[in-house]
Structure 1
C-alpha cells in the first residue's frame, strides 16, 4: 500500500465544563452505565476546570511528529482525529479526502490489545467512513501495537531509574520500595478475549484472565526493568502490575488488583516507598492526573509512604522517533523493533481478535 496521509488517532476529551457530561454520554452510549457513575467521573474533569489535558497533549504530539518526521524521510501530511470529541473522525476524514488523500495510515494512542484499545478504533473509523460517504473511496490501515517498542519504553525506563535513585537518596533500600506498573482496568471477559484467538492459551499461561492485554503489559514492565537494571547498581525493587480507573458495575468482574488496594497491601508488608509507573498510557491525561497523582498519592500518604510517579512517554524525543519507526515499517518495510519475546506485534489483527463483547460495560478512559 502506498499511503498518502497519516492520522493521529485518539480518544478525545472535553475542553470546557459544558462539554463534560455530553462527552461522557458519548463514551458510554448504549452501555447502561448508571447516571451516578457518570456524575462521579464528571467531578474528576470538573476538578481540572472541565478540561481534559488529552487534546492539548495530542496537539503537542502532532506538532512534534510534523517537525520530526521529515528528518526521517516521512513527507506525507499528518492529521489528527478523536473518537469522542472534536475533531471527530468523520469530519477529519472528509477534510483528508477533500485534500486529495485516499490511502491513510492510522497511528493510535493505545499501545495494547483490547477491544476498547484496538478493535473499537477500527470500528469507529469504519463507521466514520460510512458517515462521511467515503466507503470504497478511502482506505484506512492501523499501525501495530507498540507496547515493547524501544521508543515507548526508553523515556519511561530513564525516569523510573531516576525515581528509584531519588528514593534511595532518602535512605530507602531496594527491599523497602515497591514499583507498581499501572494501567486501566478492563472487564475480565475483555481481558480473556484480548489478542488473537489462536494464541489465547499462550496468553492465559502468561497472564491468566488478563489475556494478551495483561501479557503485553507484563512484557512492557519486564523490558522496562531490564533497562533500569543497566542504570542502577545492586538489586532492584520488586515490581507488580496493578490496575486503576475501573468504571463498571460491581457485579461485573474487572482485572485486579486495584492500585489503591495494592498500595495498602504493600504498606502492610513493610514497604516504605511506592513508585507508580503509568505504563498503560502514553500521556498525562485525566486517568493519570486524577487516579494516580491524586487518589493513589493520597492513599500512599495516608499510609506514610514515600510516593513518586514516573512520566509517560508524552512527546519525549525517543517516543516521537519511535512513532516514526512504526510509520516507516509500513511505508518502506523498515525493520521492526521490539524488546520482548511477544513482539514485534503483527500489522493486521486476526479475525476474532479482541471481539466486541456488548454485554460488558465500557472503559471510561482516555487513551
Structure 2
C-alpha cells in the first residue's frame, strides 16, 4: 500500500517516488492518461455536471442555472469532450508516427468518461505505470494540484492502490509547442490590422486567462520561489505573453509599438472574495479613452476553445468591443495544431528517455515546471492540503 510518510510521493513510479524535482532516468511507462475537465453533452446533463464542478460548496441549483445558460446557448453541449476526443486521436497518431507504442486512456474530473473509468480500463489491460497529461498548462490549484488530488482519489483504498502508479507531465506553459499557436495568432491579427491602416499604437493586445482567487494565486507554484503578488500563475502567464509579443515583433517590426497586458475572465466567486483582476470586459471598456481602435484578445490561459472561450470571449468580450466601437479579433487556441500535438509527445519523450532537465526545450520560462511537484505547492486555501499524487507531500 502507499506510504503515509510526510515526504512520500503518493502512487508514484519507482523513479519518481524519491521526490526529485526532475526525473532524469528512463521510465518504461505502459500508457498515457489524458486527464480532462469534462463537460455536458446535452441539456439534461448541464445541471448535474455543474453540481459535480461545485461539489462540496453548497451552491443551490438556482444559482447554478445562472451559469447553465452559457451551456444552454450551445444546446447544452460543452465543446471540451469533443476537443479531447480529437486530441486523443491526434496524440495516438503522433505516437504511432514516432513508433512509440503507448495507448492513450482518457478520463475526466467532472463528467463521463471519468478518471476512475480510465484507470480501471488501463488496469484491466495490465497497463499500470501511467504518465498523465493534464489539460492545463500552468501552475495553480485548479490547473495542477486538483488533478493530482484526483489521481490520488481514484487510487486511494481501491483495488488499484499499490498496483497502478500515476506520474504527471510537468506544467507545459513554457513549451514551444504550446506557445506557437499564440505567436501565429497575434502575428496574423496584428498584420491584418496594420494592412487595414490601423496604427500600431491604436491596437491593444489583451492576453486573457481564467481568474482565480488572489489567495490561491499567491500560493501557486513552489514555495521556494518569490513569485510576486499573483504567484507562479500570474508570473507564468506574463512570461508567455511577453515572449509572444517579442517573437511577433521579430516577424512584424511595427508590432514592437503595440501595447499589451494580461487580463482575467470567468471569475465565479462571491464579490467579497478578491480574485485576480482586471477583467477583460472592464479593460475593453477603457480602451477608447486610451486611443485604441482595435483589440486582439488572446486566450493564453486555454489549451482549446472551452466554453469560457466561446462564451466569455467570443460572446461577451466581442459584444463589449462592439459597444465601444472597437474592431475585434480573438486568436486561436493550440487545440490539435500539429506544433502542439508534437509538443505533447516531446514532453512524453522527456520522461520516457529520462532527459536531463538542462537538455529540455523551454521558452518564456520563469520556472516551476517540475516533474514532481514540490511540497506545499498550489495550496487550496479553502480546503487545505488533501492527498495528491505526483508531488512531494503535503
Normalised by the length of structure 1, the TM-score is 0.94
1:165 aligns with 2:191: yes
Q: Which moved more, 1:267-276 or 1:301-310?
A: 267-276
Give the alignment of 1:108-127 within 5 angstroms. 108-127=134-153
- Alpha-carbon shift at residue 83 of structure 1 (Å): 0.3
- SS for the counterpart of 1:197 is coil
Partner of 2:51: 25
- SS for the counterpart of 1:60 is helix
In 1, Cα distance between the equivalents of 2:241 and 2:59?
Answer: 32
Please list the CA deviations of residues 117-157 of structure 1 after superposition, one character each: whole Å capped at 9, or x if unmatched.
11110111111113753110100001001112100011220
- Alpha-carbon shift at residue 355 of structure 1 (Å): 1.1
In 2, Cα distance between the equivalents of 1:80 and 1:121?
Answer: 13
In 1, Cα distance between the equivalents of 2:35 and 2:337?
Answer: 18
Partner of 1:364: none
Q: Would you say the 8 A contact 2:237–2:301 is kept in 1?
A: yes
- Alpha-carbon shift at residue 80 of structure 1 (Å): 0.7
1:316 aligns with 2:333: no
Partner of 1:13: 39
1:342 aligns with 2:366: yes
In 1, Cα distance between the equivalents of 2:154 and 2:73?
Answer: 32
- SS for the counterpart of 1:39 is helix
In 2, Cα distance between the equivalents of 1:239 and 1:113?
Answer: 22
In 2, Cα distance between the equivalents of 1:348 and 1:185?
Answer: 25
Q: Which moved more, 1:334-343 or 1:292-301?
A: 334-343
1:267 aligns with 2:288: yes
In 1, Cα distance between the equivalents of 2:68 and 2:129?
Answer: 37
Which structure has more helix as a fraction of its residues?
A: 1
1:95 aligns with 2:124: no
1:220 aligns with 2:246: no
- Alpha-carbon shift at residue 166 of structure 1 (Å): 1.0
Q: Would you say the 8 A contact 1:7–1:106 is kept in 2?
A: yes
Partner of 1:286: 307
- Alpha-carbon shift at residue 359 of structure 1 (Å): 5.8
Q: Would you say the 8 A contact 1:33–1:248 is kept in 2?
A: no
Partner of 1:2: 28
Superposition CA RMSD, Å: 1.4
- SS for the counterpart of 2:253 is coil
- Alpha-carbon shift at residue 307 of structure 1 (Å): 0.2
Partner of 2:377: 353
Q: Would you say the 8 A contact 1:338–1:344 is kept in 2?
A: no
Give the alignment of 1:1-367 within 5 angstroms. 1-33=27-59, 35-130=61-156, 132-199=158-225, 201=226, 203-204=227-228, 208=229, 210-234=230-254, 235-334=256-355, 335-343=359-367, 345-358=369-382
Q: Would you say the 8 A contact 1:337–1:344 is kept in 2?
A: no
In 1, Cα distance between the equivalents of 2:52 and 2:203?
Answer: 40
In 1, Cα distance between the equivalents of 2:273 and 2:306?
Answer: 26
Please list the CA deviations of residues 260-315 of structure 1 after superposition, one character each: whole Å capped at 9, or x if unmatched.
00101122211110000000000001000000000000000000100000000000
Q: Would you say the 8 A contact 1:21–1:42 is kept in 2?
A: yes
- Alpha-carbon shift at residue 36 of structure 1 (Å): 4.1
Q: Deviation above 3 Å: which 4+ runs of structure 1?
A: 32-37
In 2, Cα distance between the equivalents of 1:236 and 1:19?
Answer: 47
Cα distance, 1:120–1:188 mapped onto 2, change above 3 Å: same
